Amino acid sequence: MTDEITPELFEHLVELAAFAFDPDEADYLRRELNNQLKAIHQLENVPLPDDIPPASHGVTYTAQTKAALRADEWDPCDNPEEILAQAPEVDDGYIIVPDIPQTELD
């Protein structure tokens, strides 16, 4: 049986997820993914009548249980500086990150 997640597909997922792995880690992760997919494939055997809708939440919300939308009233946060203090690199109130290169068109 060939693996559903091939090394190539795995590399693509790694790229999407912004990861980088050494070969051992990659082997372990790819093997576990393929094993999990074997379990997931059980879902294909489930008889699913057309009238079964997807459930984004298990509990159904009603007009009585659903919260109202938020009124448009300003309530400022009292400690924005504590949020900023969590950032690894800050300069003059800005959070600093490395640059994103661009190519100029001729």
Partner 1 sequence: MTDYEVVIGLETHIQLNTTTKIFCACKADSWEEPPNSNICPVCTGLPGVLPVLNEAAVAKGALLAAAMHSEIRLTSFFDRKNYFYPDLPKGYQISQFDMALGNGGYFDVPMPDGAVRRVSITKLHLEEDAGKTKHEHGVRYVDFNRCGVPLVEMVTGPDLRTADEAAQYLIRLRQLLRWLGISEANMEKGHLRCDANVSIRPVGSTVLNTKTEIKNVNSIEAVRAAIDKEIERQIEVVESGGRVEAWTLDWDDAHNRLNKMRSKETEADYRYFREPDLLPLELSEAWRDGVLDSLPELPLARRARFMDEYDLPEYDADILTGDKPLSEYFEAAVKAYGGDPKAVSNWIMNEVLRMRNELGISADELTLTPALLVEAIRLVDTGTINNATGKSLLGKVQESGKSPAQIVEKEGLAQVSDDSALQDAIDKIMAANPDEVASFRGGKEGLLGWFMGQVMRETRGKADPQLTRELLQKSLKGEG
Partner 2 sequence: MAILDQSAFSIAQKVQNGDLSAVEVLDAALERISAVDGKPGSLDYGDLTDEDCEKVHAFITLTADRARQLAEDVDARVRSGESVGPLAGVPLTVKDIFTVKGTPSTAASRILANFNAPYTATAVERLEAAGALTLGKVNLDEFTYGSSTESSAFQPSTRNPWDTSRVPGGSSGGSAASVAAGEALLSLGTDTAGSIRQPAAFCGVVGLKPTYGRVSRYGLIAFGSSLDCPGPVASNVRDAALMLSAMAGADPHDSTASMAPVPDYLAALGKDVKGMRIGLSPDYMQITFPDPESGELIRQDLPEEIRAATLRAADVLAGLGAEIVEDVPMPNTAYGIPAYFVISRVEAASNLHRYDGVKYGYRTKSDYRDLREMYRKTRAEGFGLQPKLRILMGMYVSAAQYSEQYYARALRVRSLIRSDFDAAFDPQGEYNVDALLTPTTPTTAFKMADIYGDSVLMQYADQLTVPANHAGIPGISLPGGLASDGLPIGIQFLAPDFAEETLFQLGQAFEDATAEADWRDARPQVLQ
Q: Rounded to the nearest whole angstrom, what is the least distance from the CB of residue 24 to partner 1 in the complex? A: 26
66 binds partner 2 (CB under 8 A): yes
Looking at 23, 47, 53, 76, which residue binds partner 1 (CB under 8 A)?
Answer: 76
* Residue 16 CA: distances (Å) to CA of 4, 26, 32, 33, 73: 17, 15, 18, 16, 38
Q: Which does 72 bind (CB under 5 to 8 A by kind): partner 1, partner 2, none?
A: partner 1
13 binds partner 1 (CB under 8 A): no
d(CA 84, CA 91): 10
